[in-house]
Amino acid sequence: MIATSMGKQLRLRRIFRNGRALVLPLDHPIYFGPQRGTEDPARLVRLAREHGATAVLLTAGALRQATTEVGDLGIIMRIDTTISHLGGPDTIMHLLQTPEEAAALGADMVVVNCYVGIGDARLEAQLLEKLARVSAQCERIGMPLCAEIIPRVSYADPNQTSPTSDDLAHAMRLGFEYGCDIVKTVYNDDSEGFARAASSAHVPIIMAGGPKSSDDLAIFRQLKEAMTHGACGAAVGRRVWGSPDPGAVLDALRAIIMDDASVAAAVAIYRGA
């Protein structure tokens, strides 16, 4: 794991346990508005703490409401945002705080989004410039930076709904080249390709949980494959707080990440077997 200062090393130990991380994101309302399951940030932070997450990913506003529930969880602060879904696409972004302001609020790490392959060179340049600027600021104050870098390529094949492994490799490597400490990105169901991409990234990779699907058990298979092929953890939000039993989902995810549990064992934990 790359950590170029004592400050980064000390903060990262609050995010990771033995080099692995289970993060519960609850920053979705800043774009989507309050979704079912996100109404009470304090309840979600308590859920994360009680069911073995290592960190929560949230905004300064949500942290203010949930401060008393944090306990020993790591705090990853979202310091950028988009316009709301009422106003337009989520690729138009601005900063909410600087890394220094996030540090003053108690953050152990900050996260910013950077979509690539969006088909708009001017907008992509702005996103990359933001990433570079925040990276430099983080380096100066010893704040770890997680870059959420996700390819948004429009492929000719309509069946290609996930990024190709080559595009994922590009996204992961951008995080390294821009001085980020962690890259959060999607798993594309190509285990060997994902492994090659992760091996050339040279920074820890955290799997993004993605939107809730009709198959509640798919997340366990995806996470196990990602962990086996180069990821060091996951940030799963909608598939946790959007579930009828969020605690059971977190327990199962933790078993895969921290205990190397099989998919079958994780499903048994989820089902209470």
Q: Is residue 238 part of a domain?
A: yes
- Residue ranges making up the domain that contains 112: 6-270
What radius of gyration, in Å, describes the C-alpha atoms of the chain? 17
User: Is residue 214 in some structural domain?
Assistant: yes
Tens digit of pLDDT for each residue in 181-215? 999 999 999 999 999 999 999 999 999 998 777 78
Residue 38 lies in a domain: yes
In a domain, 221, yes or no: yes
Q: What is the CATH number of the domain that holds 154?
A: 3.20.20.70
**Angle at alpha carbon of residue 66, lines to 20 and 211, rounded to 5°:** 55
User: Could you read off the pLDDT of 78-120 as tens digits, one per residue?
Assistant: 999 988 878 778 888 899 999 999 999 999 999 999 999 999 9
Q: Which amino acid is at 198?
A: A
Average pLDDT, the chain: 94
* DSSP track, 91-145: T-EEES--HHHHHHTT-SEEEEEEEE--S-HHHHHHHHHHHHHHHHHHHHHT--E
Tell me if 264 is assigned to some domain: yes
Coil, helix or strand at residue 29 = helix
Quote the number of domains for the chain. Answer: 1
Q: Per the domain annotation, does 185 fall within a domain?
A: yes
User: Quick check: 1 pLDDT over 50?
Assistant: no
Query: What span, in angstroms and rounded, lies between the C-alpha atoms of 222 and 266?
Result: 12
Task: Region of 208 please: left (phi>0), alpha (psi -120 to 50) or beta.
Answer: beta
Does the residue 1 lie in any domain?
Answer: no
Task: Name the token pair of 116.
Answer: 């690539």
- Note the pTM of the prediction, 2 decimals: 0.95
Whether residue 80 lies inside any domain: the answer is yes
pLDDT of residue 210: 83
Q: What pLDDT score does 4 carry?
A: 64
Residue type, 131: L
pLDDT at residue 243 tops 90: yes
